[in-house]
Structure 1
Amino acid sequence: MKKFMLAASAAFLILMPTQGALAQNAAPVEDGVIELQPVYVTTPLRRPTTILQSTSTVTVIDKEDIERSAAPDLPSLLRKYPGVNITANGGQGAQATVTLRGASASQTLVLVDGMRVASATGGSAYLANIPLSAIERVEIAEGAHSAEWGADAIGGVVNIITRDGSTCANGQAICTTVETGVTWPWGGFGTIATRGITDNGVDFNLGLSLLGTEGYDFTTPENSVHEPGRDGFLQGAFNYAIGKDFTWGRLYSEGFYARSNPHFDAAPYADWMTGAMVYGANQSIQTNAAFKLGAELDHSDDWSSVFEIYSAFDYQKNFRDDHPEAETHYDTNRFGLSASTTKEVIAGDALNSFTLGGEAYRETVDSSVDYTETGRNVGAVYGQYGLEYEALTLNAGLRYDADEQFGGALTYNLGLGYELLPGLTARASYSTGFNAPTFNDLYWAYDGSYVGNPDLDAETSKNWEAGINWDSGTGTVIDLVYYENHIDDMIAYVSAPPSYIGTMENIDRAKISGVRAVWSETLMDDRLGLDFGFEYRLPKNETDDVYIANQNRLKLTAAASFQATEALNLNADIEYVGSRWTNESSYNPQLGDYTLVNVSALYDIDPAARVKFAVENLFDEDYETTYGYKAPGTTVTLSYQRTF
């Protein structure tokens, strides 16, 4: 805590006194009063609502937040927010996972434009392959959301929404933005994006990006896989969106493709039986993509339907130069389709919203490792109901998922919100969730030390939260929530005598409880934005009465954004994270607490050109989010952007 206070003082001296996750968009100032407009989200209920109408805890990271941030990649951006936990095996390009509310990575659903992108073998998404330049905003919905999205949403949902077609700020119908920059440790990047609306009404966005860094040595000498030397990263990515409005609705398509070459450590070792040296892979070719085609039909002003088909894949090829025996690959293919219809009915002063939908997808795996099964089908139907009546908001939903492997899962949600006083709203919600076992959990063929367990049940959860929100309407937003998440049939690794052959079993129960608070202020005619965040949680394995490994217990955040002049914007943010257990055994070492300070400055040379200077981890804090893996030290970025 002392380190956090010292860092906070230093950052504010640097900056002088980022818009909050719950803050609202500001309208023009009239007579010194800032009228704030509500922020709309689609992730919590799979239909557009304001954050408060969703009756659950929601964070929105918008394009302006991303542009102001000093973060060089998506994991660095996400970790700055309360409720979010990031663990990484190093710096840019390293495997990093995002978790919400003490859940595991496989219990946190990651979407890109509503499409599942996680590996079906490992259960987590490769965040490093989603470049910041392609992202319009990120919606983070905490708590169980399986009633809306199905499997894997026990801790919550992270929906990464890519940039779409829009009008140009310079008044042109079509414009192109180019950005180039250098980073230290030595690297560089370049992006180009063209967007606009054609004469016949087609809106589009096309983006290309390329980045590379020489990196640093990710592992500590104590790590058994430590290999001295820098771990670099090279990535190329493409994203697009195209659509057209018609009198009957809209036709659209969007997607992204990224291919990268991350390096990591895998020290050779001597086989204990033969003495021969064994060489493992120390780099990979990682390919991720997701593509969607959709149609929205407007039957009337208060009734619409959406139909979508999508395809997503996660391909990982691991190898080591001059050692072909080290090569492995794990490829996930996913194809899905969905349909939903939403009808609004006004009865007196009450607005009723009804949504019915269904979806189906197939996952297949192709790997150098044998799996006893290589595919499964999933189908689901769901319904959601929303009521807005004077000061009352109500949301309720029910969903049934049929999984070819473990059978069916019924989940539901219920949320209430009530405006006690103008601007003061109380809310409460209860929801259930489930997590589908991965292909590694279920179908890994016996390899001498581990075998999958095809009899696993899905993990299930019950989540409730109660909170209060104060929105002054003129720049002050305070949100406080208490939550509990109870998880049953937790999937855990077991290696028991006499064989000591490892497998996965449903054995554990867990309870994650916590309190989370955010406070946002907009001051000085919207020139100054302040954010403060706090979260304290207890992630406990109730079966063994120990803490769940690698989960934050205490997290404090602070951020400021100051429009110093019409051309100059200054930003700083601070993150303090308390110590964490490295695994569930209390006799193992803890990961120490750490405090990070990040700063950035943006200067508009003219209306079409901007220079950005950013420093991540300003004071070169030495810390780890995963035991044996060094987190990035000071990272400096200098970039230039111009729109034509």
Structure 2
Amino acid sequence: MIVGQTIEETLPQELAKYGSDVEVTDSQEMRDSLFVDVSQALQMDTPGLFLAPRGGPFSYMDISLQGSRTQDMLFLVDGVRINNRLYSSTMTDTLPGSMTERVEVLKGGQSLFYGTQAAAGVINIVTRGYTDDFNGQLTVSGDTNDSIHYDGYARGKAGPGNYVVYASQDKSNGIATYTTIQPSATDQRRSYDLSNVGVKYRLEVLDNLSVDARYTHTDARLDYPGVRVTAYSKNERDEDVASVGIDYKMTDWAQLLVKGYWHDWDSAYTTINNVVQPGTGRITGQTVIDNETYWGYEDKGINALAKLTPHKGFEYVVGYDYQTYSGKDDVLLIEEQTEEVNAVFGQVRTTEDLIQNGAFAAGVRYNDTGGVSTTVWNVSGRYDFTSWLYAQGIIGTSFLLPTAEQLYVIQEPSALGNPDLEPETSENLNLSLGTNWQPTSGSAFQLQATYFDR
């Protein structure tokens, strides 16, 4: 049994109670389906979501949720944002599928709690949870693409707290990524070597006070062959994600979580192209385009979230977010920049004491980024007409801060950033009518129809 969940970890389930459409893929389903990474689980198990990895496992991907763009989706690992704010792309290899307790997909605009890049929804990857009983797992697998995978984890109770440790490695000597490729490309197969280690520890200081520390490290060596002239192309990455949270239940009706987080990504990019003789197509030499050229970013901040139920009929969730982000890309010529974000938000929710068969909520968020402010809101709800028929929906606004590429890229004459760009804003609506019907004991039938507009 999972223990020690914070109000941040249970937030997606609570938002589902108040009308957000949430899809969940748990660890057992991922194991039974032999998913290598999270992107495979999302690709196969989430209605309304389109996902296409560009080069097989552990690669960049194009993703669309209910018709959205890739940059409209926010990715989190245990509540820590892992999106690349340098430009509109993302990867899901920060954590392999075997280390995942569940993957939660929240559909519709979710900027109220999650801020920028949640215009179409949020994908939250939850790592293996804490347990009091010792348990673990070891896995070795391979495939016909000359790939091999190792992973293992252990968890249990140690002293006054609980721990989880995990590690994995994925390696392939080369897989074909294109069905058609030009003879000028001599690097025609994509190899990868990715290792991941992590540790979590939760210390119960008092009955109503706990401290939770988490750390994940990823080393990756990833090939990116092209369809023409590529002789060698590799991205080498060192990535760290860490957080420390304090969970304090002040009274029976007040709970507070304060968490600091840090996400650091450092990459060295190397590209060598073949030189082709015009007319003959003969390769006459090679030219170095990038030689361990640096690109990377650092994202760190503090989140505070409080849940208050001082009286019957309503409960309140309030919070504060502080984020400082800095990044640099010598490949795309993005100069080093730093951005600070401050935000406050709040939501009012009904409880069963006020409405028996329904749950409704309304909230607002104020976001300030270097003097540029944005205010967003949403209203959501769910009503159960019977034990098997329900309606739910969410309406509101969201925002998307410009990327560093959009603001500061210098690639004359083809591209030049605009530092005066303001945040994008969006209006969104999701409405659903569904049924959970159990005709006999042990059987179930689920059907949901959704209308969305953004």
Q: Shorter-chain TM-score: what band?
A: 0.7 to 0.9
Write the letter of the residue equivalent to 2:308: K
Compared CA separation, residues 418 and 287, structure 1 to 2 (3 A): same
1:118 has 2:69 as partner: no
1:155 has 2:115 as partner: no
User: What is the match of residue 255 of structure 2?
Assistant: 304
User: What is the match of residue 293 of structure 1?
Assistant: 244
Which blocks of at least 5 consecutive residues in structure 1 are unaligned? Answer: 1-24, 26-39, 169-173, 270-278, 487-644
1:141 has 2:106 as partner: yes
Map 1:552-567 → 2, pairs under 5 A: none
Which blocks of at least 5 consecutive residues in structure 2 are unaligned? Answer: 273-285
User: What is the match of residue 480 of structure 1?
Assistant: 448
Structure 1: 4+ residue segments shifted above 6 A: 40-45
Q: Give the alignment's TM-score, normalised by structure 2.
A: 0.87
1:235 has 2:194 as partner: yes
Q: Secondary structure at the match of 1:82?
A: coil
Partners of 1:476 and 1:341 lie apart in 2 by 36
Map 1:156-555 → 2, pairs under 5 A: 156-168=121-133, 174-198=134-158, 200-221=159-180, 227=186, 229-245=188-204, 246-266=206-226, 282-320=233-271, 325-327=289-291, 328-347=293-312, 350=313, 352-368=314-330, 369-372=332-335, 374-388=337-351, 389-404=355-370, 407-472=372-437, 475-486=443-454
For CA contacts below 8 A with separation 6 or more, give which structure has more relative contact order: 1
CA contact (8 A) 1:302 1:345 kept: yes
User: What is the match of residue 605 of structure 1?
Assistant: none
Write the letter of the residue equivalent to 1:371: I
Offset of 1:41 from its aligned partner?
11
User: What is the match of residue 275 of structure 2?
Assistant: none
Partners of 1:150 and 1:426 lie apart in 2 by 26
1:105 to 61, 67, 70: 70
Partners of 1:384 and 1:281 lie apart in 2 by 52
CA contact (8 A) 1:306 1:341 kept: yes
Offset of 1:325 from its aligned partner?
4.4
Write the letter of the residue equivalent to 2:453: N
Partners of 1:367 and 1:135 lie apart in 2 by 30
User: What is the match of residue 68 of structure 1?
Assistant: 32
Deviates more, 1:101-110 or 1:117-126: 117-126
Offset of 1:331 from its aligned partner?
0.3
Partners of 1:50 and 1:444 lie apart in 2 by 38
Offset of 1:443 from its aligned partner?
0.6
Q: Secondary structure at the match of 2:86?
A: coil
Compared CA separation, residues 215 and 74, structure 1 to 2 (3 A): farther
Q: Secondary structure at the match of 2:406?
A: helix
Describe the superposition over 1:283-304 as per-residue Cα deviations: whole angstroms up to 9, x where unpaired: 1113333111000101122210
Partners of 2:183 and 2:113 lie apart in 1 by 42
Describe the superposition over 1:23-42 as per-residue Cα deviations: whole angstroms up to 9, x where unpaired: xx9xxxxxxxxxxxxxx997
Partners of 1:440 and 1:91 lie apart in 2 by 25
Compared CA separation, residues 43 and 306, structure 1 to 2 (3 A): closer
Write the letter of the residue equivalent to 1:310: Y
Write the letter of the residue equivalent to 1:133: S
Compared CA separation, residues 431 and 118, structure 1 to 2 (3 A): same
Q: Secondary structure at the match of 2:415?
A: coil
CA contact (8 A) 1:467 1:479 kept: no
Deviates more, 1:141-150 or 1:178-187: 178-187
Q: Give the alignment's TM-score, normalised by structure 1.
A: 0.62
Compared CA separation, residues 139 and 251, structure 1 to 2 (3 A): same
CA contact (8 A) 2:178 2:227 kept: no
Write the letter of the residue equivalent to 1:100: L
Partners of 1:223 and 1:460 lie apart in 2 by 42
Compared CA separation, residues 212 and 372, structure 1 to 2 (3 A): closer
CA contact (8 A) 1:280 1:319 kept: no
Offset of 1:87 from its aligned partner?
2.0
Q: Secondary structure at the match of 1:326?
A: strand
For these two proteins, the number of residue pairs brought into alignment is 428
User: What is the match of residue 46 of structure 1?
Assistant: 11
Describe the superposition over 1:221-270 as per-residue Cα deviations: whole angstroms up to 9, x where unpaired: 3679955532111110012211022223211012322111111214665x
Q: Secondary structure at the match of 1:144?
A: coil
Offset of 1:99 from its aligned partner?
2.8
Identical positions, percent: 19
Partners of 1:226 and 1:44 lie apart in 2 by 47
User: What is the match of residue 20 of structure 1?
Assistant: none
Offset of 1:210 from its aligned partner?
1.1
Write the letter of the residue equivalent to 2:212: Y
Offset of 1:202 from its aligned partner?
1.1
